[in-house]
Amino acid sequence: MPTDIIMPQLGESIAEGTIVKWLVSPGGRVEKDQPLLEVETDKVALEVPSPTAGFLSDVLVPEGQTVPVGTLIARLEAQAPTGVISRVGGVVMKPMAVQEETEAEHYSPAVRQLAKERGVDLSQVKGTGTAGRVTKQDVLGFVENSAPAQATPTRPIPAHPSSKQTGEEVIPLTSMRKTIAERMVASRHSAAHVVTFFEADFSGLALFRQKHQLTYLPFIITAVTRAMKDVPLLNSSWGENGVVLKHDVHMGIAVALEDGLLVPVIRNADKKGLTQLGKEVSDLAERARAKRLNPDEVQGGTFTITNHGGTGSLFSTPIIHQPQIAILGVGAVQKRPVVINDAIAIRPMCYLSLSFDHRVIDGATGDEFMTKVKEYLEQSEWERFL
């Protein structure tokens, strides 16, 4: 009996997913729990493991297509299939009825829409996707390489140069990049962004973190969660009926990926010590970059920290991660001359920025919170927080 592969439920609020890449060729052998395909949603990109061992005999949904949760996307056979050899060297087995139906629906809605916008006859386009399906890239390539005849206007109009002539290249937007763009614009439109900057002296924790082989981030998380106990309004969100105060602190940690940004969440961060926080930060970041996060690991955050200083940046005005009320930006830690007791000293200093929603947080409240964060970072009693 074949095993059906369906688009999985990748989170409570996720209704569809985009197949980014099939990691096993049609007809190829796959082991149980081996990554079978890469799926992208509006929240996370991850690899989906095979539910059982077998051979990928039937790929019903090509790369680049978005389908609802629960859609049949492929089948696995227990035995090596014998059937039509595909163009990519795999084997595709399909009953005649299914084959005819697939040919009738050879083009995804996104491809048909793009072809309509560009005036392309899809029957003239050669497909390079799975089983010869036409992809968006095929349509764009067809448009670029074609020179359709145009009616001569009364007034000559210069022909629009192709991307090759202008030295330009169109990089198709991924589902993740589209979502990031939409959410960042929506955040700027919905929240009243204000940013305040502080500078903290990291001398007290520099030697301690080296001794215990920790990064700066666990210390910053600890300082933020402690400051939230003093100024709890920072752990809230805007609601139609009022400000929603959160009693649990779930800390989002922004992780830069090759093609976007993910914000995995550390649950109950205020109840964890530096060592545990360090392990969780490292684990989440590593699995985020490997696209192996679970959907629930990027949901439910109540506050976000973004460490833009990892690439050398000193200042930043990060955009609030909705529906949260604030986000903390952490700049690079650099040794700088500072005045201490009327004398100049060299200290490891760090600029911190707090972007907050002025609908909920006033400037005085934001500064009160940052004063506490600075105070807790500069204190030297770190042993009790291990």
Pairing between strand 265-266 and 303-306?
Answer: unpaired
Compute the C-alpha angle 21/22/28, nearest 5°. Answer: 160
| Whether residue 4 lies in the annotated active site | no
* Residue 317 to residue 302: CA distance in whole angstroms: 19
Catalytic pick from 296, 357, 358, 367?
A: 358
Task: For the chain, list the domains and their CATH numbers.
Answer: 3-104 (2.40.50.100), 107-146 (4.10.320.10), 175-385 (3.30.559.10)
What count of Cα atoms within 13 Å lies in the side-chain half-sphere of residue 240? 0
Contact by Cβ (8 Å): 302, 249: yes
179: its two tokens:
């979502």
| Whether residue 362 lies in the annotated active site | yes
Taking the alpha carbons at both ends of the chain, their separation in whole angstroms is 53
pLDDT in tens, the chain (386 residues): 789 999 987 765 677 888 888 999 888 999 998 989 988 876 677 888 899 999 998 899 998 888 888 899 999 998 876 654 333 334 444 443 334 334 434 666 566 767 776 778 888 888 776 557 777 777 777 877 774 444 444 444 444 444 455 788 888 887 778 878 888 898 888 889 999 999 999 998 988 999 999 999 999 999 999 999 999 999 999 988 899 999 999 999 999 887 778 899 999 999 999 999 999 999 999 998 888 888 889 889 999 999 999 889 999 999 999 899 999 999 999 999 999 999 999 999 999 999 999 999 999 999 999 999 999 999 878 999 99
Catalytic pick from 33, 248, 259, 362?
A: 362
- Tally DSSP H helices, then E strands, for the chain: 9, 21
